[in-house]
Amino acid sequence: MNGRVFVDTNILIYAHDNEAGLKQERASQILGELWQAKKGVMSTQVLQEFYVNVTRKIPTPLKRATARDIIRQYSAWPIVEPDVDMIVLASEMEERHTLSFWDALIIAAACRIGAEKIITEDLNHGQNIDGMTIENPF
């Protein structure tokens, strides 16, 4: 077991949203621990969603240059890029588990990169989907 933890978009957003209160504290703590342990992984989908949300949708949006700098920092982590096989796998997971396609693509990416769990608030805590454990830290 490699201990890799896939970080979903909402965790990354909370960590950089100064108005997220306790969620910001918890998300920052998680990311700090993953940086230190070198166990954090994510996908280009997460980074894309992060950029759009923190520059446009949070109460006090980040400057675009700041968001780009944060994305560059995370390039030090293992990042998975979706390909055709991953998209097909996600579509199968979507159908089999009645998920949104985008959630299924997150799970497929986590499987591809060899993560043991996904940290997210978008899925059910404790749920196991195709061997992937879901953890909601909030």
The position carrying tokens 């240059």 is 65
Judged against a pLDDT cut of 90, whether residue 29 lies above it is answered with: yes
Confirm if 91 and 101 have CB atoms less than 8 A apart.
Answer: yes
pLDDT tens, position by position, 87-136: 999 999 999 999 999 999 999 999 999 999 999 998 878 788 888 899 99
Confirm if 105 and 87 have CB atoms less than 8 A apart.
Answer: yes
pTM for the model: 0.93
Query: Following CA atoms 99, 16, 131, 84 in sequence, which dihedral angle do they give, to the nearest 10 degrees?
Result: 60
Give me the chain's average pLDDT, please: 95
Domains of the chain: 5-135 (3.40.50.1010)
| Distance of alpha carbon 19 from alpha carbon 39, whole angstroms | 27
pLDDT at position 125, please?
80
Q: How many other CB atoms are there within 10 angstroms of residue 121's CB atom?
A: 16
